[in-house]
Chain A
Amino acid sequence: MQLAVVHDDVLDRFDVDTIELGRAFALDDADWKEWTLPDGSPCEIPVWTSPERVHDGWVLRSKSGRIIGKMPDGGLYFEAVNWPFLEGTPDHEALEQAMAECMWSIPHPPGPLVEGPDGDRLLVEGARRLRESTDRAILGEFGGALMEWGDFLYRIDNFLAMLVEKPDRADDLIERLTDLFVAQLEKYLALVGQYIDVIVFYDDMCMQNGPMISPKMYRERFKPNHARMWKRAKDLADVKVLLHVCGSFRALLPDLIDAGVDAINPVQTNCKGMDAAGLKRDFGEQMTFWGGGCDTQSILPRATPEQVRDHVKQQVDTLRPGGGFVFQQVHNILADVPPENIVAMFDTARGL
């Protein structure tokens, strides 16, 4: 919900092969309103988001009026500040109402544009129009995060502790989330499955130096539920399953592949155990690396364009042989990245 929409002229300039399904929507000026970025630059934001100024930053509210997100002065992103299940023994029956009180429920396009009685028709029409207008691969941004929704609802420390202290409660939440997402997935793919090429799931479970949870805990608690969603998606439509999971996921990778993942993003090759050559050697025949093209923690924001070029060449030479590689920088391009480095990165990747 906080990423910039990349305009067609930029996609064309860098010969980008993909586009998000959301780009088929919010095409009218009336869908957008003016806002100002923290550095003073003018921008436009969807009409359904309304940041409010407070004394030390900006806040976002849920539909019920509660403050759910905050961007402190000096920061560039909104972060969650409300966890509906933080206290007491919350009722998991009220899952959807609780999710609406989390910042990450604020949608990117199409969002509310495909709600209401006409919503399904508008979604299908938008998807069809986009399909007819482009030969780019279309990505359906689905979501379906299990550990992360546990984090969003309970706050990450409480949810992680619950996995040890009250495993039955944690399992109950994970299963209810999966039931909800499978139902959403069935509806979503029935409408747009024929128009998209890739369905995007996310679930951040890892850190710089490894997974937050043990592979055993992943296998027991999360994997069967991930598999229910990911395999169902492929049964329902001719789509590839792309999972976004940051950090060092290597220790989980055999299980992720087994659960139905076709591709993983962002492949943070500077993390522990994540060197590109080792990943390619051990898993390159079983999955696609969607990322890993350029480090974003030290290279892209800090290096010279020449260093960016050398690094990108090395990453592509390692990850491309035999296929199974979609070039993308590791993670989002933040505000501290010099534009000439972005140009150097994409032009180098395209020119190889």
Chain B
Amino acid sequence: MGQVEELREAVVSGEVEIAVEKMNEGLAAGVSPEVLLRDGVNAAMSEVGALYEAGEIFIPEMLVAARATTAALNVLKPHLVEQGVPSRGKVAIGTVKGDLHDIGKNLVAMFLEGSGFDVVDLGADVSPERFVAEAQGGAQVIAMSALLTTTMMNMRDVVAALENAQVRDRVRVIVGGAPLSDEYVMQIRADGYAPDASAAVGMLCELLQV
């Protein structure tokens, strides 16, 4: 079994140290960073997503796989930059103003990054102005999360702020969180909703056609 295959398996089973080790081995053996990303890390994320959707793994297993991904990517990133390997798109993600619940947002961020997106994590309690600044700074996707029916209303303010700053056309706006729905996406003129981290990756690939 080659390093890429071993890397993929280590990520799927959430073995952080082995994933880092296999990534280093692959780089040392001269495997191209692009192959390590695509066939190692990204393929592992797809497999984890499929296992989750099939009900074979749950959040703890998904979390450790996402953490192994993050660790392996930290090793790989400088090499990707050096080789000029393009990302699938730049995503600015955060929980909306007033909402500190960030477990779901964090999982989505890790999944998107592991799936080849360039993720700027703005953290929790993010103001509309900060989302707008990211859109102005070149983010192609604004991703927002809220847990409560009270705070989800703040998503509308972010869309309005993007419109006022005349950057709404430049970005895709996606949302997630317990009370969210496709219907609400329509109401606030966002572009997409996904019920979990794995589905978010698929939805975003479709929206960006990548």
Contacts and interface: CB of A to CB of B under 8 A. Distances in A.
Specify whether A and B are partners.
yes
Interface in B51-84: 55, 57-61, 63-64, 67
B50 to A, nearest CB: 16
A301 B57 CA distance: 34
Interface string B176-190: 001101010000000
Interface stretch (A21-29, A93-101, A125-133, A161-169): A161-169
Contacts, number: 85
B100 A72 contact: yes
A164 B178 contact: no
Nearest to B57: A214
A165 B64 CA distance: 8
A298 B150 contact: no
B154 interface: yes
Contacts of A209: 195-196
A160 B63 contact: yes
Contacts of A70: 100
A72 B126 CA distance: 10
A212 B100 contact: no
A161 B64 contact: yes
Contact of A75 (B14, B59, B100): B100
Contact of A297 (B14, B64, B101, B149): B149
Nearest to A212: B59
Contacts of A208: 178, 195
B89 interface: no
Contacts of A161: 14, 60, 63-64, 67
A254 to B, nearest CB: 16
A76 to B, nearest CB: 6
Interface in A272-299: 296-298
Interface residues of B, number: 31
Contacts of A334: 148-150
B81 to A, nearest CB: 27
A344 interface: no
Contacts of A302: 149
- Of B58, B153, B181, the most chain A CB neighbours within 10 A belong to B58
Contacts of B106: 157
Nearest to A334: B150
B125 A75 contact: yes
Nearest to B53: A209
Contact of B98 (A74, A163, A207, A214): A74
Contacts of B195: 208-209
A156 B103 contact: yes
A296 B97 CA distance: 21
A211 interface: yes
Nearest to A302: B149
A74 B97 contact: yes
B160 to A, nearest CB: 15
A274 to B, nearest CB: 13
B67 A301 contact: no
A79 B97 contact: no
- Of A74, A163, A336, the most chain B CB neighbours within 10 A belong to A74
B121 interface: no
A213 interface: yes
A73 interface: yes
Interface string A229-254: 00000000000000000010000000
B21 interface: no
A164 B67 CA distance: 12
Contact of B150 (A56, A76, A214): A76
B99 interface: yes
A217 interface: yes
B58 A213 contact: yes
Contacts of B149: 296-297, 301-302, 334, 336
Contacts of A74: 97-98, 125, 151, 154
B60 A217 contact: yes
Interface of B: 14, 55, 57-61, 63-64, 67, 97-101, 103, 106-107, 125, 148-151, 153-154, 178-179, 181, 183, 195-196
11 contacts: A74-B151, A79-B100, A79-B101, A157-B106, A160-B59, A164-B63, A212-B60, A213-B58, A214-B57, A297-B179, A336-B150
Name the 7 nearest CB pairs between A and B, nearest first: A74-B98, A75-B98, A79-B100, A297-B179, A74-B97, A160-B60, A212-B59
Given A56-B125, A298-B179, 6 more contacts: A70-B100, A157-B63, A164-B63, A164-B64, A208-B178, A336-B153
